[in-house]
Amino acid sequence: MMSQLTSVDSQITGWPAEVGRRVRLPQSRRLVNDLLHFSRKIPAHTIVRHCSIPNVVAARHRLKTDCRLRISWPVLFAKAFAWVAIRHAPRK
């Protein structure tokens, strides 16, 4: 039965029928493959929001000059997102 399927496949595709072999994937690779597989089912939407943040830019610059420490933008936005999430928690 298998030889019939491979010969039919090779006739359709024009490629010679090859017999494959199973390769055991490491657990980390299986996890990545599962994530990629299931992420195809999740709709992706891009959200663009323009913000006016001159006060944040000034405070970040002032902090850098005062103590030679610059807080990265992703950290600032993550903190802002956390504050918004706390203030506007969904009602249960």
Tens of each residue's pLDDT in the chain, 92 residues = 444 555 565 666 666 666 778 888 899 999 999 999 988 888 777 777 787 889 888 888 888 776 677 788 898 889 988 888 888 877 54
Whether the CB-CB separation of 36 and 28 falls below 8 Å is answered with: no
CA torsion angle for 23, 29, 34, 36 (degrees, to 10)? -110
Prediction pTM value: 0.41
Q: In the chain, what are the domain boundaries?
A: 54-87
